[in-house]
């Protein structure tokens, strides 16, 4: 899995032979600044972008293959012991309103390099059926994190934040809430030269600016009812700069961006997840204690914890989810949730590249 945070690749080896997925090992491969900047550039029209997308897709395939090799080496597992690789690829455009989403990573090359069957392009089939193609992980959350009597909400805070609503004895739902870490990370990189605000310390040093927060919260996306999804196509530095007056203190902008993330998550839960009792955070944002504390304040009727408290490693939960999604594809089973994505019907997701 490599997501909208553009920080790197999460690889896991997962045993799916039992009733619950069992993560055997994990490996993280960071993106260097050159690759991250090249991927960011592909989110916008540019000269020779089609060629660049294919070249960078090949580079990603080689990095994915190296990550696969790493988890196999760690467990001394032969490649023929692996049924399939579930590879999400790197999203460079997500435009369900135009009927497409685009993840690069050359799955055919990955299958050739790894010698293992690859399942990729998970989102396109759902979009073809009228869905958003996202989020897809709620089906997995439903499989592993649902409680028969407690109303849980799982909040994944990556580049974009999304939630899964798991009410007892009712259908699972979910949707993208808005920006997670991507605006905070970009602002931190620009002003501190650091890839992220460790524990939200810089944000905590500033004050929230209502004159900035209010126009950001007025973005029409936040008022849309589910199903809905978003990405860097909407929430990006150009979007942020359009809201700035250029006289704001940098730390105050960071504090306001953290408040935007927390408010959009809390508001989504209050409006769409009535009766929620337990909130579980996963993804990179789960490590941000300032963010965690603020969500707790905004949702006084709920307990707020990381999924790690349930014995589920939140840093690799999405990677495990795509292993499970790949298994559903290989078994010919539908894995989208129309109640989440808005698709007209359940679909078998993904394209298979045989070894």
Alpha-carbon span 88 to 86, nearest angstrom:
7
Are 189 and 206 in contact by the 8 Å Cβ rule? The answer is no
User: In this structure, what DSSP letter does residue 32 have?
Assistant: P
Q: Which two tokens stand for residue 93?
A: 């455009």
Residue 165 dihedral angles phi and psi, to the nearest 5°: -95, 125
Q: Does residue 227 have a cis bond before it (omega within 30 degrees)?
A: yes
pLDDT per residue as tens digits for the range 152-178: 999 999 999 999 999 999 999 999 999
The residues spanned by each domain of the chain are 8-133+316-353, 146-310
CATH number of 8-133+316-353: 3.30.420.40
pLDDT per residue as tens digits for the range 27-79: 999 999 999 999 999 999 999 999 999 999 999 999 999 999 999 999 999 99
Q: Which two tokens stand for residue 159?
A: 């580049």
Q: Does residue 252 have a cis bond before it (omega within 30 degrees)?
A: no
pTM over 0.85? The answer is yes
3-state secondary structure of 336: coil
Orientation of helix 250-272 relative to helix 289-298, angle to 10°: 40
The whole-angstrom distance between residue 142's C-alpha and the CA centroid of its chain comes to: 16
What is the band of 339 on the pLDDT scale with cuts at 50, 70, 90? very high
Q: Which two tokens stand for residue 280?
A: 């579980």
Look at residue 105 in the predicted model and tell me its pLDDT.
Answer: 98
Q: Which class is 146-310 in CATH?
A: alpha beta
Share of the chain above pLDDT 90, in %: 100
Q: List 26's β-bridge partners, or say none.
A: 12
The candidate with the shortest Cα–Cα distance to 336, out of 140, 58, 77, 72, is 140
Domains 8-133+316-353 and 146-310 in one fold: yes
pLDDT per residue as tens digits for the range 175-201: 999 999 999 999 999 999 999 999 999
The whole-angstrom distance between residue 237's C-alpha and the CA centroid of its chain comes to: 18
Look at residue 22 in the predicted model and tell me its pLDDT.
Answer: 96
Mean pLDDT across 143-158: 97
User: In this structure, what DSSP letter does residue 154 have?
Assistant: E
């Amino acid at each position: 899995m490599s997501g909208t945070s553009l920080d790197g690749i999460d690889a896991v080896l997962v045993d799916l032979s039992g009733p619950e997925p069992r993560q055997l090992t994990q490996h993280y491969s960071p993106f260097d600044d050159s690759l991250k900047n090249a991927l960011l550039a592909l989110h916008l029209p540019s000269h020779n972008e089609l060629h660049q997308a294919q070249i960078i897709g090949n580079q990603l395939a080689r990095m994915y293959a190296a990550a696969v090799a790493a988890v196999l080496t760690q467990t001394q597992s032969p490649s023929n012991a692996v049924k399939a690789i579930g590879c999400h690829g790197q999203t460079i455009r997500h435009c369900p309103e135009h009927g497409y989403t685009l993840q690069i990573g050359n799955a055919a090359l990955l299958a050739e390099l790894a010698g293992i069957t690859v399942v990729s392009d998970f989102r396109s089939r759902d979009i073809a059926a009228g869905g958003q193609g996202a989020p897809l992980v709620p089906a997995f959350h439903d499989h592993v994190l649902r409680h028969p009597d407690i109303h849980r909400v799982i909040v994944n805070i990556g580049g974009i934040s999304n939630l899964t609503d798991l009410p007892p004895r009712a259908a699972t739902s979910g949707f993208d809430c808005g920006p997670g870490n991507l605006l905070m990370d970009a602002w931190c990189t620009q002003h501190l030269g650091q890839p992220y605000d460790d524990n939200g310390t810089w944000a905590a040093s500033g004050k929230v600016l209502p004159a900035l927060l209010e126009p950001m919260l007025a973005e029409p996306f936040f008022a849309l009812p589910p199903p809905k999804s978003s990405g860097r196509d909407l929430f990006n530095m150009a979007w942020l700069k359009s809201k700035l007056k250029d006289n704001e203190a940098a730390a105050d902008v960071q504090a306001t961006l953290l408040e935007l993330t927390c408010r959009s998550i809390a508001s989504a839960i209050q409006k769409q997840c009535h009766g929620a009792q337990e909130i579980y955070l996963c993804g990179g944002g789960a490590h941000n204690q300032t963010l965690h504390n603020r969500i707790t304040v905004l949702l006084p009727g709920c307990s707020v914890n990381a999924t790690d408290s349930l014995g589920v490693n939140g840093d690799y939960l999405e990677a495990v989810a795509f292993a499970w999604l790949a298994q559903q594809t290989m078994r010919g089973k539908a894995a989208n949730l129309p109640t989440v994505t808005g698709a007209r019907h359940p679909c078998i997701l993904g394209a298979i590249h045989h070894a």
